[in-house]
Structure 1
Amino acid sequence: MALAYHVHLAGQGWQQIGQLVLAFVLSSTIGLEREIRQKSAGLRTHTLVGFASALIMLVSKYGFNDVLGENVTVDPSRVAAQIVSGIGFIGAGLIFIRQDAVRGLTTAATIWLTAAVGMAAGAGLWLLAVIVTVGHFVAVFVLPPLSSRLPRSKYAPSRLHLTYVEGRGVLRRVLAECTRRGFRVTELSIDQRARGQEDRGRATVSLSLTVHGPEPISELTPVLAEIDGVLAVTGQDSDSAMP
């Protein structure tokens, strides 16, 4: 009777509770960073993913002790392996395309990392879980400033959002200026939602352009803003459009 009771409680001691608490704390720390940045998956999502991953790891390790015997063996890695493939469904749901810019890749990768942190905590690899959590913050806070200092490739696309007065040949002058400065326009799309709007009684057009050029887009936008008839112009590198 005592043996059966011991088998029943195996894997439900203070050690496992501590592993669950560690997964909860580390996952919520990662989720807090995403929440502050107003990403599509924030504090609750990341906390639940890491917390649940830790529990699944513990179930995989201890959940079948009561059925083990001479003729019964189990592979404790099989249940845990399904986390890696299953978490992909959440990640895929976070990736979407808006105005031809891919968004959500970093958040999807962070969900995957949070699941790995929870698995490590649930497996008792607390040091690895902490190191990977620290690595997450290094990746999101230290690497972006470094990448912005790297030489820009002339093949890297950028997005321009332009609003101008219709009927003055503004678009023709904008395209000519882009060409003169070595930029190549590969795509142009009109924002139908803003079509027909007026500014001080003048019909306006809003459109997006994908451009490739030898210099940062920040060098081009002030020049375009000086063109007569241009009401607003903003630029964004494609790399910065993938949070």
Structure 2
Amino acid sequence: MPESWAEPLWSTAAQWSLLPPVLLALLLTTAIGLEREAGAKSAGLRTHVLVGVGAAVFMVISKYGFADLLATEHVALDPSRIAAQIVSGIGFIGAGLIFVRQDVVRGLTTAATIWLAAAVGTACGAGLAPLAVLATAAHFLVTRGLQPVARVVRRHRRRPPVLRIRYDDGYGVLRGVLERCTAAGFSVAGVAVHRGSVAADGVRVAALTLRLDGRGDLPGLAAALSETDGVRSAETRVDPTEDPDDPDRADD
């Protein structure tokens, strides 16, 4: 069998020496994926390993896969182009992991770890093993080591003020309520409308929750609103979407 028959399948004689970077990417991204799997995240072991190994394979192909063409006239290779395409292409997977429920964003950290897994695989494929190991260690430091610090910060940060109001619907009361909120130094950052009811006097009563921004006198505002014509009750409470003990509330 002529030797030229195998040339299309064997672009370089050093192919076996190109496997260690891919195996290292397999090992490191497995560690990252196991951490995500233990946290029951939307992207777990298999996703992170496939992303990391795929990035490593693409990078190895970019560096060594066209060695047989370098002797061809007018042929120039730019291995950095593959790395750039990996960075942009992994964004499609990351975007699919992020979703918004009401005003709570979830999946940011998982999408970021997918991006990191691609970076680790790219570093392995580029022959930058110490960088890949350091990036993997940084992943565990951030996702596990910084969680206690994040909990402490959440417990001490100022929570958004929330005002719950019940008022007579259909009498233009809401417009006056919003004007009073603005006059008290607040702006409305979010509105949640609840199911209405009919009072004993036959008037339809609406209920809504206002999430406010500002540093005005919230108890004073609630007291003033409760005395407003058409307002049946006004009370303040903690924002229900803010849970200081949930480490992945907004970025799991």
TM over 0.5: yes
Contact 2:94 2:114 in 1 (8 A): yes
CA 242–28 in structure 1, closer or farther in 2 if over 3 Å, else same: same
Residues of 2 paired with 1:113 and 1:206: CA distance? 45
What residue number does 1:236 align with?
Answer: 242
| TM-score with structure 1 setting the length | 0.67
| TM-score with structure 2 setting the length | 0.65
The answer to whether structure 1 residue 92 and structure 2 residue 101 are counterparts is: no
Question: Which among 141, 146, 164 is matched to residue 144 of structure 2?
Answer: 141
CA 191–38 in structure 1, closer or farther in 2 if over 3 Å, else same: farther
May I ask how many residue pairs the two structures share in their alignment?
206
CA 41–209 in structure 1, closer or farther in 2 if over 3 Å, else same: farther
Q: RMSD in angstroms over aligned alpha carbons?
A: 4.2
Residues of 1 paired with 2:54 and 2:101: CA distance? 31
Contact 2:33 2:46 in 1 (8 A): yes
Contact 2:55 2:118 in 1 (8 A): yes
Contact 1:157 1:237 in 2 (8 A): no
CA 86–10 in structure 1, closer or farther in 2 if over 3 Å, else same: farther
Amino acid at match of 1:117: V
Per-residue deviation, residues 90-112 of structure 1 (Å, max 9, x unmatched): 11111111111111111111111
Per-residue deviation, residues 142-167 of structure 1 (Å, max 9, x unmatched): 1121133338443x648x8x9xxx99
Residue 241 of structure 1 and its aligned partner are, at CA, apart by 2.1
Residue 46 of structure 1 and its aligned partner are, at CA, apart by 0.6
Contact 2:29 2:121 in 1 (8 A): yes
Question: Which among 65, 68, 79 is matched to residue 63 of structure 1?
Answer: 65
Residues of 2 paired with 1:29 and 1:82: CA distance? 25
Report SS of the residue matched to 2:76: coil
Identical columns (%): 49
What residue number does 2:40 align with?
Answer: 38
In the TM superposition, 1:100-111 aligns within 5 A as 100-111=103-114
What residue number does 1:226 align with?
Answer: none
The answer to whether structure 1 residue 52 and structure 2 residue 54 are counterparts is: yes
CA 67–9 in structure 1, closer or farther in 2 if over 3 Å, else same: closer
Report SS of the residue matched to 1:240: coil
Amino acid at match of 1:36: A
CA 208–19 in structure 1, closer or farther in 2 if over 3 Å, else same: farther
Report SS of the residue matched to 2:43: coil
CA 104–69 in structure 1, closer or farther in 2 if over 3 Å, else same: same
Amino acid at match of 1:116: A
What residue number does 1:127 align with?
Answer: 130
Amino acid at match of 1:119: T
Amino acid at match of 1:241: A
Contact 1:157 1:211 in 2 (8 A): yes
What residue number does 2:84 align with?
Answer: 81
Residue 208 of structure 1 and its aligned partner are, at CA, apart by 6.8
Residues of 1 paired with 2:108 and 2:135: CA distance? 18
Contact 2:11 2:66 in 1 (8 A): no
CA 12–89 in structure 1, closer or farther in 2 if over 3 Å, else same: same
Residues of 2 paired with 1:123 and 1:27: CA distance? 16
Structure 2: gaps spanning 5 or more residues: 168-180, 198-205, 216-238
Contact 1:7 1:65 in 2 (8 A): no
In the TM superposition, 1:150-189 aligns within 5 A as 150=153, 152-154=156-158, 157=160, 186-189=189-192
Amino acid at match of 1:236: E
Residues of 1 paired with 2:54 and 2:207: CA distance? 46
Residue 184 of structure 1 and its aligned partner are, at CA, apart by 8.4
Question: Which among 116, 124, 130 is matched to residue 119 of structure 2?
Answer: 116
